[in-house]
Amino acid sequence: MKFQKILILLIISFSLNAYSSYSGVYYCTENGATGFSPEEDFKRTAFHEIKFKAKIDFEKEEVISEDIFFPKIWRQKCLVNDVSSISCISDQGFSFSFNPISRYFVRGNYFSTNKKPSDSIAVAYGTCDKF
């Protein structure tokens, strides 16, 4: 019985350590970005790819990056799934998903109101490297 408790604690400890090894500051580069412009009757539009830094914390389940509209002061909901990916969405309509094993990310922005949106709808993808 005592051995089982120790084994369970070790398993929990190793799984928490796996997530903590993924946490940190990443430098991300978009490989492509596209979207739609509501001001041009939702015409498909290309966007300039950006580079940004993001603090990704798998234990706290949060992403902090002013560059992609995930400041610390905004509320967000993040989930870490069973393949170690983290997916977040903010109250303002920004999303970010990242897998530290493949290093790929996807981000999006959209804002829904009761009238026609004026901000562009966009999706982008790329890779991140840990600092």
Q: Do the Cβ atoms of 69 and 90 come closer than 8 Å?
A: yes
What's the one-letter identity of residue 112? S
Q: Would the pLDDT of 5 be above 70?
A: no
Banded model confidence at residue 102, pLDDT cuts 50, 70, 90: very high
Percentage, residues of the chain above pLDDT 70:
81
Domain ranges, ordered by start, for the chain: 2-130
| CATH for 2-130 (2.40.50, 1.20.120, 2.40.160, 1.10.260) | 2.40.160
| Mean pLDDT value across residues 71-89 | 89
Q: Which residues contact 112 (CB under 8 A, 6 or more apart)?
A: 93
* Burial 61-93, CB ≥16 within 10 A → b, else e: bbbbbeebebeeeeebebebeeebbbbbbbeeb
The number of helix segments (H) and strand segments (E) in the chain equals: 1, 9
- Give this prediction's pTM: 0.80
